[in-house]
Chain A
């Protein structure tokens, strides 16, 4: 596509690099910004610059935060459990359930040598260190990882690494979604939920 100006072209190119945005959408966004008052654009760009320059990752749980010591320690959360997730969106999803009051640990990915991600590229060592240095304050590690081969490998590996600490390691349940019809569940999921069935609570 030919653009009327080099400046427009440059802006389109930059925006189109973002996930889920093609050149057409990028052009629409650029033209939209041009129609808005100048402040709209400057505040957008300055907030992005701020974000990139000043964002911190908590040195304990690796969640995106404003400081290197995020609220994970100060808030009234249950410090005896740590929920291990792959990425920040998973933290938000689990928090939104309202079912979990413990701490988090963000790995920043899952082990997949094909994609160039080895055990050293995810925050596993720091998790082990965290458990060790807690003086047995941490009682349980909950693994909330994807139900894929890579997720399973990561889970197996973490369990192996945590073995010497003696901490209890659990994993989130896998099976039929709540409100889901049984007949629409795929065979693998259904098979697994039969195999790992739980006692029915009558109280």
Chain B
């Protein structure tokens, strides 16, 4: 899939801009704070119906304006060629695909698949387990609606159970029958969710390791280890044994909502023992594996959005990365931002399909 044209109106710091993109590498250059990332975010918005950097839809409207609009034309899609987003202060966000509104916003996700990596992604390694569960849940549930259904159901029952534990304020004479009613619903959901997660990571692992090896060749052993006790043969006992702890802490302490994905490099947690460059390579490999997964599931290439990826990497790593990105079979179109023009131009000097877009204060020169 190729993004041919993109028009931004009053999106973030852009007043009005219309751009044409080509196959190959589209390199967006400019100083800090000029709007390079905002351009990638506009593409992300068209794909995921929201900004990649949090905040409300309102915050995406250019300061002092009443609405924003994004119009894009894609090539090589079976189902869509024109995607429009329109959001006006106080109104409902509208997405139109070839003039038609999808029934739900969530139905649109997957129509224009994309993978974005930004400097913020270091949080995936540094923060608590929730961000990692969210990352993988997002990837899995795009193609597995049963999984998504189970996940929603699980979270709802868990919320009820926790709320019931809170109301009980730690008293031993809690209504056990109601707790058991929740438990008998949660226990099978725990195992069905964990089974899907485990199978996904098994699938994902080799693709991830291949990508890491390409960026960081050598004797490194990166590993994503899915960490759960929900598949243990005595899970039910572990769950039930936690009853008193649940009662005292007034929340549920065992279940898939406590799962983690451990990021390991050479048998040690990368969070503590990995260098900045290793961590960055790890995240890039995760994102590229996500890209491969989407491509395999969709049957065509997603959009690849790379925000400031060369930062913190040494020249050797960058050279490997650049070689990797030169595979046009795999990456028909790439969007990349860089604050240092000369540097970017050196990296891509052997490429004949690079277009440069210089961004300055919400204008593209």
Contact = CB atoms under 8 A, between A and B. Distances in A.
A150 B182 CA distance: 10
Interface string A141-163: 00000000110110011001100
Nearest to B156: A149
Interface string B146-174: 00010001001101110110110000000
Interface of A: 111-114, 116, 118-120, 149-150, 152-153, 156-157, 160-161, 187-188
B178 A114 contact: no
Interface string B218-233: 0000000000000000
A153 B157 contact: yes
Residue of B166, B177, B185 most packed against chain A (CB within 10 A)? B177
B160 A153 contact: yes
Given A153-B182, A156-B185, A118 B164 contact: yes
Given A119-B175, A149-B153, A187-B145, A156 B181 contact: yes
B296 interface: no
Nearest to A163: B177
B20 interface: no
B184 interface: yes
B177 A114 contact: no
B257 to A, nearest CB: 16
Interface size, B (range): 20 to 34
B160 A112 contact: yes
Mostly helix, strand, loop or mixed at chain B's interface?
helix
Contacts of B180: 160
Contacts of B157: 149, 153
A161 B177 contact: yes
Contact of A156 (B166, B175, B184): B184
Contacts of A153: 157, 160, 178, 181-182, 185
A119 B177 contact: yes
B178 A188 contact: no
Contact of A188 (B149, B167, B185): B149
